[in-house]
């Protein structure tokens, strides 16, 4: 057999012999010609089988092929702009590896629950390929952004001794003789230790929230990237966030244009993601809600619908800063000009995709932080190490967390986060 090739590299094989290994995506016949569409994970290729050019065995093999059967095809590669994928193969040989038996996901329409139950197979479809390739590009560009700016990657533990983002969404587990452990809600506290050690770091890993609500924006397990920088204040934090968003959106537009097209994504709003991004205070955001006639009460946190209404005022992501401290986490520093406000920032994506980034300047005063721990009924003993960061050379510092799945959902223009991760975990879904 001729050398094995991946479909994405077919441009180098025009006019030459090649062998492609993959799975049958679709097939059809017309008279003495048979067409098969093969996918190999890197693309799709149309194979053409002409009766007089192949053995009877090969010609008949075509009839036994079912959707998702695995096979190898060999023949001469031709460029053909009309063919799916842009190339065609004059097939000389077909080798069946394994026939698939009644593949459940057919080209007809299926319900979302049916597909979610078969997520392990659904991943083979072109729409899922497009989404997960965009996800990959986002993760790649996140690392590229921080690595290129001298940030150290700091892996934070998954088992933790206490809550970071409120006690109502903690997943609890038994931990040998040491009592209870909790799955991390955020790597931030460890990122802060890293920032004091290395100046600028990013934590990037899975995080867990026992979200009891069933919404299109919440997963119980999601990926978050969390930069943390010593000596940065809230403004520096917002500067970093806007530069970061411009970088990742720019990379997806440049490197994943074909996938965005497959998803029929209107990229108008994505092209607007250029710094500076608008910055408004919480109070200004409340004013927008009031003008638009919602019943929002000042002092509350924004719900999903409020975020959508606010973001509709802007043609790019908007940064909302200085929230009422009482709706935010214990570690946030208060605004010296108004103690009721936290030096927090949320970035709301346009088109109703909601909060993609949550960040803040951190409380750096030992006594104040201790007071906050008590106010939030958090166990002082579990935070003793964290207080050390304020005992030994405390400095102003800030950071933020970007949710990968919300970001994928926004950039791909999806109406639910469930397709943005290979195997989503939600309140009612633990399988496959």
Closer CB to ligand 4AD, 311 or 360, in the complex: 360
Q: Angle 4-9-13 (CA atoms, 0-180°, nearest 5)?
A: 70
Is the bond into 276 cis (omega within 30 degrees of 0)? Answer: yes
CB of 219 to Mg ion, least distance (A): 14
Closer CB to Mg ion, 43 or 358, in the complex: 358
Among Mg ion, ligand 4AD, none, partner that 209 touches (CB below 5 to 8 angstroms by kind): ligand 4AD
| 3-state helix vs strand vs coil in the chain, percent to 5 | 35, 30, 35
CB of 424 to ligand 4AD, least distance (A): 10
312 CB contacts (<8 Å, ≥6 apart)? 350, 352
CB of 17 to Mg ion, least distance (A): 56
Among Mg ion, ligand 4AD, none, partner that 398 touches (CB below 5 to 8 angstroms by kind): none
Q: What span, in angstroms and rounded, lies between the C-alpha atoms of 73 and 96? A: 9
Figure out which of the listed residues 58, 358, 364, 369 binds ligand 4AD, where binding follows CB under 6 A. Answer: 358
Figure out which of the listed residues 119, 209, 333, 334 binds ligand 4AD, where binding follows CB under 6 A. Answer: 209
How many residues appear in the chain?
432
Binding residues with ligand 4AD: total (CB under 6 A) = 22
CB of 302 to ligand 4AD, least distance (A): 12
Closer CB to ligand 4AD, 129 or 209, in the complex: 209
Using CB under 6 A as the binding rule, whether residue 359 contacts ligand 4AD is answered as yes
Closer CB to ligand 4AD, 22 or 403, in the complex: 403
Is the bond into 183 cis (omega within 30 degrees of 0)? Answer: no
What is the secondary structure of 70-131 as a DSSP string?
A: EEEEEEEEEE-TTSGGGEEEEEEEEEEEE-----S--SS---HHHHHHTHHHHTTSHHHHHH
Residue 187 gets the label, from left (phi > 0), alpha (psi -120 to 50) or beta, of alpha
Figure out which of the listed residues 130, 224, 285, 411 binds ligand 4AD, where binding follows CB under 6 A. Answer: 224
Figure out which of the listed residues 22, 324, 358, 359 binds Mg ion, where binding follows CB under 5 A. Answer: 358
CB of 69 to ligand 4AD, least distance (A): 37
Alpha helix (H) ranges present in 148-233?
188-198
User: Hey, CA dihedral for 307, 185, 242, 249, is it positive or negative?
Assistant: negative
Query: Residues interacting with ligand 4AD, by CB under 6 A?
Result: 165, 186, 188, 209, 211, 218-219, 222, 224, 226, 355-360, 399-401, 403, 405-406
């Amino acid at each position: 057999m001729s050398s094995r090739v991946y479909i994405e590299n077919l441009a180098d094989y025009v006019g030459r012999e090649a062998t492609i290994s993959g799975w049958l995506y679709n097939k059809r016949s017309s008279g003495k010609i048979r067409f098969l569409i093969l996918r190999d994970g890197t693309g799709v290729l149309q194979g053409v089988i002409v009766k007089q050019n192949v053995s009877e065995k090969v010609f008949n093999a075509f009839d036994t092929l079912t959707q998702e059967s695995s096979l190898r095809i060999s023949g001469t590669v031709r460029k053909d702009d009309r063919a799916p994928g842009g190339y065609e193969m004059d097939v000389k040989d077909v080798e069946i590896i394994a026939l698939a038996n009644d593949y459940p996901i057919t080209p007809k329409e299926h319900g979302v629950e049916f597909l979610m139950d078969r997520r392990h197979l659904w991943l083979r479809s072109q729409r899922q390929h497009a989404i997960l390739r965009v996800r990959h590009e986002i993760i790649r560009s996140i690392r590229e952004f921080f690595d290129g700016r001298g940030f150290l990657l700091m892996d934070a533990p998954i088992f933790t001794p206490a809550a970071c983002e409120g006690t109502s969404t903690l997943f609890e587990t038994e931990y040998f003789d040491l009592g209870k452990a909790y799955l991390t809600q955020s790597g931030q506290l460890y990122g802060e230790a890293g920032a004091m050690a290395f100046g600028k770091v990013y934590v990037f890993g899975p995080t867990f929230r026992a979200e009891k609500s069933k919404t299109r924006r919440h997963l119980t397990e999601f990926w978050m990237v969390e930069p943390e920088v010593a000596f940065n204040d809230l403004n520096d934090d917002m500067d970093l966030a806007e530069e970061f968003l411009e970088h990742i959106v720019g990379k997806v537009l440049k490197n994943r244009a074909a996938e965005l097209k497959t998803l029929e994504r209107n990229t108008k709003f994505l092209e607007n993601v250029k710094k500076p991004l608008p910055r408004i205070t919480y109070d200004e955001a409340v004013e927008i809600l009031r003008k638009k006639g919602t019943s929002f009460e000042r002092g509350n946190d924004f719900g999903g619908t409020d975020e959508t209404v606010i973001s509709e005022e802007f043609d790019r992501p908007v940064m909302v800063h200085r929230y009422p401290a009482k709706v935010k986490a214990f570690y946030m520093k208060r605004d010296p000009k108004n103690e009721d406000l936290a030096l927090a920032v949320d970035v709301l994506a346009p088109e109703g995709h909601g909060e993609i980034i949550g960040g803040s300047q951190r409380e750096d005063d030992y006594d104040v932080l201790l007071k906050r721990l008590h106010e939030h009924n958090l166990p002082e003993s579990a935070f003793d190490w964290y207080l050390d960061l304020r005992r030994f050379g405390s400095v102003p510092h800030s950071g933020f967390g970007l949710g990968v799945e919300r970001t994928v959902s926004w950039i791909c223009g999806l109406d639910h986060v469930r397709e943005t991760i290979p195997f989503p975990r939600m309140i009612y879904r633990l399988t496959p």
